[in-house]
Amino acid sequence: MAWAMNRIESAFSKAKSEGRSAFVSYVCAGDPDIETSLEVCRTLIKSGVDVMELGVPFSDPLADGLTNQLAAQRALESGTTQADVFDLVRKIRAENDTVPIVFYTYYNLMFSNGLDQYIAAARAAGVDGLLVLDLPPEEAEDHLASCEKYGMGTVFLIAPTTPSDRVGYIAKHATGFVYYVSRTGVTGVRDDLADDLNEMVGMIREATDKPLVVGFGVSKREQVRAICELADGVVVGSAIVNTIKENLGDTAAITSNMGTLVSDLVAGTQVR
């Protein structure tokens, strides 16, 4: 198990040693097509992201707002398959062996082809962690066993509505990091941060010493900085995905706009 955890652990401890929080980016694999997706991942790494969350395109992404739903749709319409997603990870790994890759996925995509086989294949390709949006830890026994068997990190979500006695239970099953969804509802850019963020982060901190990241709705450097004052990492998705949507058909414009945005947001992680 150590090898998988090392990339995730190393990313958070490296950020901490540099007086900042980790920057976690989200894009959907294969958006808008698999070739451009590789350029997008290269751009993210070059722009300084610490952890890459890759959405696995799915026809029913129920946790995602419109921006990320459309990204999954573009990926599927361009013909992206599960094999393509694994191949994308292998190509990234051939160029970069340090940035952790976490799949942001749904249970059916794993279960339908055999859970064990899926996790083994993801691990072999170079995936470090799995965030399964629709799988609560109470129902994750088989998933947790397979992840342990293949040295795959697990990430679970905590929501603003999660009661305090359940926070510890969820955190206990996360071997990679804990992801606090700072808003109820689906993914998407918001103008302001949640009022109870400080209080919720404090409650989660009391329950676990695992790295804690905060996401959903983050799009500006000030928001990144405010979150990084409190948490070990910040997740930005929709704002990054929008740079793809706004420049479809022009890979150079996608990577240039994304590079500018992400470099600016990453600068907001420096808090000490």
- Cα separation, 226 vs 222, whole angstroms: 6
Nearest to 178 by CA among 200, 151, 193: 200
In this structure, the dihedral spanned by the alpha carbons of residues 181, 184, 186 and 192, taken in order and rounded to 10 degrees, is: -80
Spatial neighbors of 34 by CB under 8 A, at least 6 apart, are 78, 79, 80, 84, 87, 88
H helix and E strand count, the chain: 12, 8
Is residue 137 classed as helix, strand or coil in its secondary structure? helix
Q: Are 236 and 24 contacting, i.e. CB atoms less than 8 angstroms apart?
A: yes
Which residue of the set 9, 64, 128, 232 is catalytic?
64
Burial bucket for residue 151 (CB in 10 Å: 0-12, 13-18, 19+): middle
Task: Please tell me the number of Cα atoms within 13 Å of 191 on its side-chain side.
Answer: 0
Does 64 qualify as catalytic in the annotation?
yes
H or E stretch covering 2 = helix 2-17
DSSP string, 78-93: TT--HHHHHHHHHHHH
Does 199 qualify as catalytic in the annotation?
no
H or E stretch covering 52 = strand 51-55
Which residue of the set 53, 116, 128, 206 is catalytic?
53
Q: Are 265 and 18 contacting, i.e. CB atoms less than 8 angstroms apart?
A: no
Catalytic residues: 53, 64
